[in-house]
Structure 1
Amino acid sequence: MGSSAQQLAASCPRLILPIGTTLLRPIHSLSLMPLHTLQRLSPTAVLGLWHLTETPTDLWRALPQPEAYRALVPATADATRQAQWLAGRVLAHELLRSTGTADEAGVVVHNDATGRPWLAGGGVHSALSLSHSGVWVAAVLAQGARVGIDVEMIRDKAQRLASKFLNADEWAAAQAAAPAAHASAPAHYTLLWSAKETLYKLAGQRGIVFKTQLLLGTFEPGESGEIPATLVVGGAHTRHCICYSQPSPGYVLTYSHQSDP
């Protein structure tokens, strides 16, 4: 990694916490909700991770303004997807509550035309990003910033589709870091896909081309660390840092937040 990339990575707040991390505070809505981590990334940004075991019925009871959310829940979601969707909203309210910056009970999480969540009501002026995969739900909330987060179950799908989202330089670096037949390959390619998903959410626009507009720099793979990244939009190149870790074996987590100019 070059010196400029090292300087960028050094500014990236990391979340490297073992399973069973003690919470900063108990969750308000469910006495037994398995919220895994509620962690400050900066004075204005907080990240939450939740190991999901509840049923949709449990989650509806924990959600403020359930009637408002009944009109928003995806009609085709099965019980598993509905639980993931609901858990993301309950977690978003917990992040709002932890920051004390809004009347969180008066807030409703909506999604815009790109699928990006946004917060209505309660006098809130924060950006929110949500993700879920398997048993993990993740969220990041920040004031005066753009945010992105992604959690992925490790599978071989990203490796099979690598040519669709990695450019030539990225693919060559991936093949050097994790040869196709190596046991680490599925995890490495899943990480690269997740990093680009986070960068895509940070961009907050439709029509982004993953291969040419979401660019990943070189990095030393590990259980946790940072990936230097560049977002190309409207002819402008902006540099970002994607932080990554493993919430549990078989999963990867990536996230980033960028202060507004």
Structure 2
Amino acid sequence: MPLHSIINHNLTTQIYVWKIEETFEDLFDEVALNDVNLIRLNTMKSEQHQRGFLSVRKLLQESGLTDFDLHYTQDGKPYLKNGKFISISHSHEFSAIIISEQAVGIDLEIQKEKALKIASRFMDISHLENLSQTDKIKKATIVWGIKETIFKIKNEKGISFPNHIFESEFSLSDQKATAQLRFDNLIEDFNIHFEEIEDYILVYAFQA
């Protein structure tokens, strides 16, 4: 079944993960879209992007919601009409949503060597010392996810991954980390959780 997993982080936070195996037609037949999102779907040029978009609507159904409960701000940040927080991510074969009573961000990334090649552009590369090549790729992917999740929570123009978001040192076995956003004369702390799902890294964050 394409519903890969449901992660109950706590009583008020659930993560839903979908493995995208269906055709576009099968997914489209199983969801109902509001008019705005139907237009949005039809403007997408990539079928992979369309399938990711539709699989997110399948995850909404798994959580007891529908596309009609999901809205977007002018800046593109998703929100729910019931007042709960939501964050969305999809990458290649997987999609994920997190729903919580706290402000949250989620990111799903496939592990690729590219993350390591560009690591110096977005992270403290000293955090990759004394790791195998495989673990360096894994950790660089996690750090990218950390920065993506914090950016999704704040959703403010001008935030720079290397200049404003700083991850604390962590071990891969910890499955959690902390990070700080230093931006606009404020310092804000975030609690991070991460885990592997097949060849992907799932990261989600809460503002501390």
TM-score scaled to structure 2, two decimals?
Answer: 0.89
Amino acid at match of 1:226: K
Runs of 5+ unmatched residues, structure 1: 1-32, 98-103
Q: Does 1:139 align with 2:97?
A: yes
Amino acid at match of 1:251: Y
Q: CA 1:116–1:66 in 2, change beyond 3 Å: closer, same or farther?
A: closer
Structure 1 residue corresponding to 2:150, chosen from 189, 193, 199:
199
Please state how far the C-alpha of 1:87 moved relative to its aligned partner.
Answer: 0.7
RMSD in angstroms over aligned alpha carbons? 2.1
2:188 and 2:196 map into 1 onto residues whose CA distance is 26
Does the CA-based 8 Å contact 1:112-1:118 persist in structure 2?
A: yes
Match of 2:59 in 1: 91
Identity of aligned residues (%): 25
Q: Does 1:164 align with 2:121?
A: yes
Match of 2:85 in 1: 127
Q: Secondary structure at the match of 2:182?
A: strand
Partner deviation per Cα, 1:150-203 (whole Å, 9 max, x = no partner):
11111111111112212xxx21122x1436xx2332222112111211121122
Does the CA-based 8 Å contact 1:60-1:66 persist in structure 2?
A: no
Partner deviation per Cα, 1:38-85 (whole Å, 9 max, x = no partner):
232222211111111012212222223454531222613321110011
Q: CA 1:68–1:115 in 2, change beyond 3 Å: closer, same or farther?
A: closer
Match of 1:3 in 2: none
Q: Secondary structure at the match of 2:162?
A: helix
- Give the strand-richer structure, 1 or 2: 2
Q: Does 1:173 align with 2:141?
A: no
- The aligned runs of 1:26-65 (5 Å cut-off) are 33-65=1-33
Q: Secondary structure at the match of 2:29?
A: helix
Aligned length: 208
1:42 and 1:133 map into 2 onto residues whose CA distance is 25
1:65 and 1:134 map into 2 onto residues whose CA distance is 22
- The aligned runs of 1:1-261 (5 Å cut-off) are 33-65=1-33, 67-73=35-41, 75-95=43-63, 97=64, 104-105=65-66, 107-120=68-81, 124-143=82-101, 145-166=102-123, 170-174=124-128, 176-178=129-131, 182-222=133-173, 225-248=175-198, 250-258=199-207
Partner deviation per Cα, 1:99-145 (whole Å, 9 max, x = no partner):
xxxxx34734333344322235xxx11111011112111110112x2
After the TM superposition, list the runs of 4 or more consecutive aligned residues in structure 1 that deviate by more than 6 angstroms: none
Please state how far the C-alpha of 1:34 moved relative to its aligned partner.
Answer: 1.5
Does the CA-based 8 Å contact 2:4-2:19 persist in structure 1?
A: yes
Partner deviation per Cα, 1:220-254 (whole Å, 9 max, x = no partner):
123x6111111223222121111010011x21110
Runs of 5+ unmatched residues, structure 2: none
Does the CA-based 8 Å contact 1:89-1:109 persist in structure 2?
A: no
Higher relative contact order, structure no. (Cα contacts within 8 Å, ≥ 6 residues apart): 1
Amino acid at match of 1:142: S
Does the CA-based 8 Å contact 1:107-1:119 persist in structure 2?
A: no
